Every structure is written in C-alpha cells, then in structure tokens.
Amino acid sequence: MTNSKQPKPGVLPFRQRGGKRAGAGRKPKGDQAGVSHGPRALLAARFPAHVTLKLRRGLPRLRSRPEYQALLAAFAGGCDRGGFRLTHYAVLNDHLHLLVEATDRATLSRGLQGLAIRIAKALNRLWRRRGSVFADRYHDRILKTPREVRNALRYVLANGKKHAAAGREVAVPQAIDTFTSAPWFDGFREALTVRGIETLPRPVTDAHTWMLTIGWRRHGLLSVHELPATG
C-alpha cells in the first residue's frame, strides 16, 4: 500500500521559505532608508553621474576650514583611481554633491566606496571619533544628455549660493562658492582669479567623457550669477 503523504519525486518534503518577507533585507543605518535599496540603473562609460552622500545626524558641519582641509586631502587622494574619476564637487553642511565618471556600475561603486572610506577616516581623525560617517548608501542619477549635465554642473557649483540666498545657514561671500570645485572649473563665462589655489592639492581630475568636456558647453557656458532651478 502506498503512503499518500509521501513527497512526490523532485518535491521537497517541507515548506520552502523563499520569496519576499516582511522585514527582510539589509536595514538602513538611520531610522528610515534615505535611498532605495533596489537594483541601481546600469551605467555606461559615456555617461557621467551626479552622486549625493549624506552625513549621519549629529556630526559637525563640513563647511568650516578644518573639515574642508580634511575633505580636500581625501578628494585629492581618491579623485582618479581605477577608472573612477571625481570631476566636480560641492560641500554643504551635512552632505556632499559629486559629479563623477566611471567605466561601469561596478567601477562607480568601488570608486565611491574607496572615496567614502578616505573621507570617513579623515573626518574621524579630525573629530577624534570612530564609527560610520555617512547616513546611508549614496544616491546617484545618471546624466544622459548635455542639458542634464549642464544643469547638474550649475546645481553642484551654485548649490551653496542658492542655500545662502534662502538663508539656510550657508554663507557665500565670494562670486563663487569656494567650498566647491568652482576654483578649478574652466567653464565660467567670467574671468576669475582665485588667490592661493596653486598651493592646494588639486581635489578633482579632468573629465574624460564627451558630455562633461564638450557636450554641455553647446548649451552655453555657466555664469557665476546663475543659481539652480527651483525644485
């Protein structure tokens, strides 16, 4: 007599636990996930990316001389490594904006991870602390048109000035924001001279993509008076 409860051939005799479950997956570093943990979009070598890194709550502000000097050293050491390139940046009080290039998604991830580690070590030495510095994994947006690249350049280089105009605890007394890579930027309409720049380590590297070298300029050079669009 055959036992009707015997499992059929090729079927496991117990309930499987695969599939989506409530509470499954890697947990965010903060109370809420600041960035989706779903799969990221593929990155082609011809496209730059706009990356945002946000600090954990309760840490000192980044827009001060000691913090910025630590960041400059970290940027200079990690701006051009293994196919990853940091070409432009902005330092705000609690987050960083970066314009970067990479040969592919894996190279972008490795490059950003290495740069974030350099930044965290430099800031932790300054602050005499240990532990994580960034709130959650980075946010990125792939820039696929010259117009998007120009808008991203304007956003990154003038974001501090927009915050200052809105009274958001940021001061930008100069024509350009010196807490950005604007002193090393050659795409302004106006002629600028930044005193003492030759004494600083260059914190960015030259762009290689057509988008960041030639393409965006077809929509006009940037003016130091331009602010990012609202929204």
Buried b (16+ CB within 10 A) or exposed e, 101-116: bbbebebbbbbbeebb
- Top-confidence residue, 9 or 215: 215
Tell me: the pLDDT tens digits for 100-125? 999 999 999 999 999 999 999 999 99
* pLDDT score, position 167: 56
The backbone torsions φ and ψ at residue 164, rounded to the nearest 5 degrees and listed phi first, read -65, -40
Which architecture does CATH list for 49-219? Answer: 2-Layer Sandwich (3.30)
Tell me: the pLDDT tens digits for 5-41? 554 443 333 333 444 444 444 444 444 445 444 455 6
Q: Give the type of residue at 9.
A: P
Length of the chain measured in residues: 231
Tell me: the pLDDT tens digits for 1-14? 445 455 444 333 33
Tell me: the pLDDT tens digits for 140-196? 999 999 999 999 999 999 988 876 655 555 667 678 999 999 999 999 999 988 888
Bridge partner residues of 139 (DSSP): 52
Q: Give the type of residue at 187.
A: G
Structure-block tokens of residue 87: 């070409």
* pLDDT score, position 162: 74
* pLDDT score, position 11: 36
Collapsing DSSP to helix, strand or coil, 203 comes out as: coil
Is the model's pLDDT at 138 over the cut of 50?
Answer: yes
Confidence of residue 210 (pLDDT cuts 50, 70, 90): very high
Task: Note whether 50 and 150 are within 8 A (CB).
Answer: no
Mean pLDDT of 35-54: 78
With CA atoms as reference, report the closest residue to 50 among 121, 92, 108: 108
